[in-house]
Amino acid sequence: MRTILYLIRKEFLQIFRNKFISRAMFAVPIAQMLLLVPAVTFEIKNVRLCIIDNDLTSESRGLASKLEGSTFFKVTFSTFSENEANNLLHKNKFDLILNIPSGFGKNLGTGKTGKLMASVDAINASTAQLSWAYLNGVIRDYNINILNENIISVPVTSVPQIMITNRFWYNEMLNYNHYMLPGVLTLLVTVVGFLLAGLNMVREKEMGTIEQLNVTPVRKYQLIIAKMVPFLLIGLIDLSIGLIIGKLVFNIPFVGSIILLFACASIFLIAILGLALFISTFSSTQQQFMFIAFFCMIIFILMSGIFTPYESMPMWAQDFNLINPVAYLMRINRMVMLKGSTIHDISRELYSLVVIAIGFTTLAVRRYRKTA
C-alpha cells in the first residue's frame, strides 16, 4: 500500500509539473462542452425550399405562404422552370422542391383532388424523411383549412374523429441540449480516460524510465493502480467541470443522484483506464498507442448510442455493446440526469460496467511484463 502511495505521489508531481497536461485538464472539458453541446443536434431547422408555382392561383399562393410562415422551411428560391430547379437541387442550392402544377387551384375549387409533387434531396436520409414529414404536416393543416372554409359548412372539428394529446416525458420541451449534454459528458470522460494514462505509460517506455521501475520489487498491480488513480481523479474533475458548465450555461436539469453518477463514472473510468493500459502494454511508441486507441474509441463512441438510438441497431451491434463501456455510461448518464433513475433502475448497466472494469484491469495487469 505504501508503495502505491509513493508511486501515485510521483504521478501527481509529474502531472502538475507538466504545464500542457495541467492546462489541458481544464481547457478540454470547457471547450468540449461549449462546442459540442449546442452543435451536435438532430433538430432540423431552416430546410431550404424551392417552390415551382405554375398554378398562380390563390390556393397555390396560400399554400406557399403557409410554408413560408413555418419556422421549419425557408423558401430560398422560386421559379417556373422544373429544369432550373432540378439543376439547382443538384448544386445543393436547396434541399426540397415543391412543384405546384397548373390546375391545382382549379381542381380544388371543383371538388377534385389537388396534386403536388415534392422532390427531396435524400443524401441524408433522416433529414429527408423529416423534411418530408414536416411538409406533409403543413399540407395536412392546409387541407383542413380548405375543408373548413370551402367545402363543408360544418367545421371539421365537430365531425367525430380521434384526437391524440401527447406529453413528452423527461424532456418536455424536446430540448436537444438536454439530450446531448449527458452524451457529451460521456465522451469527455472517455477521451480523458483513454488517452492520458496510456500515453503516460508508453512515454515511460520511450524514455526508458519504466525499466528502472521494472527492476525494483514493485508488483505489477501496484504499477497499474498507481497509473490509474491520478487519471481517474482527473476524469472525475473533468466530469465536475462539465456538469457545472451544463448547469450554468445550458441550465440542464439534473433530476437524479450526483453521487450515483460519479460512482458510475468512476467504475467506467477504471474500465477505460484498464483498456488503455492494456493497449499500452503492447505499444512501444506513442504513435502506436494513439493509432490503436483512436480505433477503439471511434468504435466505442459511434456504437454507444450517442447519435443513433441503441434500440435501432442491428442485433449483432447490440451484442457488441455488451462489452462497450461507453454504451453503458451513455445510458446511465441520460437516465440518471434526465429521468432521475436510481441504482435499481440502472443495476444491469452498473453490474456490466463492474464486470468490464474488472476484466480490462485484469488484462492490463496480466499482460504487463516486468520480465521480458
Partner 1 sequence: MNEKVIYVKNLVKKFGSFVANDNLSFEVFGGEIFGFLGANGAGKTTAIRILSGLSSPTSGEVFVAGINASKNPEEIKKQIGYMSQKFSLYEDLTVKENIMLYGGIYGLSKSLIKERTDNLLEKLNFREYGDKLIAALPLGLRQKLAFSIAVFHEPKIVFLDEPTGGVDPITRRQFWEMIYETAARGITVFVTTHYMDEAEYCDRISIMSEGKIVALDTPENLKKLYNAGTVEEVFIKIARPVNN
User: In angstroms, what is the minimal distance from the CB of 365 to partner 1?
Assistant: 14
Cβ closest to partner 1, residue 15 vs residue 292:
15
Give the residue from 139, 148, 142 showing the smallest Cα distance to 117. 139
Where is 286: in which H helix or E strand?
helix 286-302
Contacts 24+ apart (CB under 8 A), 61-69: 62/142, 63/100, 63/139, 63/142, 64/100, 66/138, 66/141, 66/142, 67/98, 67/135, 67/138
Cβ closest to partner 1, residue 3 vs residue 288:
3
Contacts 24+ apart (CB under 8 A), 90-95: 92/121, 93/48, 93/50, 94/48, 94/49, 94/50, 94/121, 95/47, 95/48, 95/49, 95/120, 95/121, 95/127, 95/128, 95/131
Cα–Cα distance, 285 to 109 (Å, whole number): 76
Cβ closest to partner 1, residue 218 vs residue 317:
218
User: In angstroms, what is the minimal distance from the CB of 3 to partner 1?
Assistant: 6
User: In angstroms, what is the minimal distance from the CB of 13 to partner 1?
Assistant: 6
CA 45 to chain centre: 18
Backbone angles phi, psi at 96, to 5 degrees: -150, 135
DSSP secondary structure string for all residues of 43-102: ----EEEEEEESS-SHHHHHHHHHHHHSSSEEEEEEES-HHHHHHHHHTTS-SEEEEE-T
User: In angstroms, what is the minimal distance from the CB of 369 to partner 1?
Assistant: 10
Cα–Cα distance, 338 to 331 (Å, whole number): 11
User: In angstroms, what is the minimal distance from the CB of 11 to partner 1?
Assistant: 10
Cβ closest to partner 1, residue 150 vs residue 212:
212
User: In angstroms, what is the minimal distance from the CB of 5 to partner 1?
Assistant: 8
User: In angstroms, what is the minimal distance from the CB of 46 to partner 1?
Assistant: 51
Q: What is the CA radius of gyration of the chain?
A: 28
Cβ closest to partner 1, residue 5 vs residue 144:
5
User: In angstroms, what is the minimal distance from the CB of 363 to partner 1?
Assistant: 20
Cβ closest to partner 1, residue 5 vs residue 258:
5
Q: 233: which DSSP letter?
A: H
Instruction: Kindly list the residues in this chain that would bind partner 1 in the complex (CB under 8 A).
Output: 2-3, 5-7, 9-10, 13-14, 17-18, 207-209, 211-219, 370-372
CA 44 to chain centre: 15
Cβ closest to partner 1, residue 14 vs residue 288:
14
Cβ closest to partner 1, residue 43 vs residue 211:
211
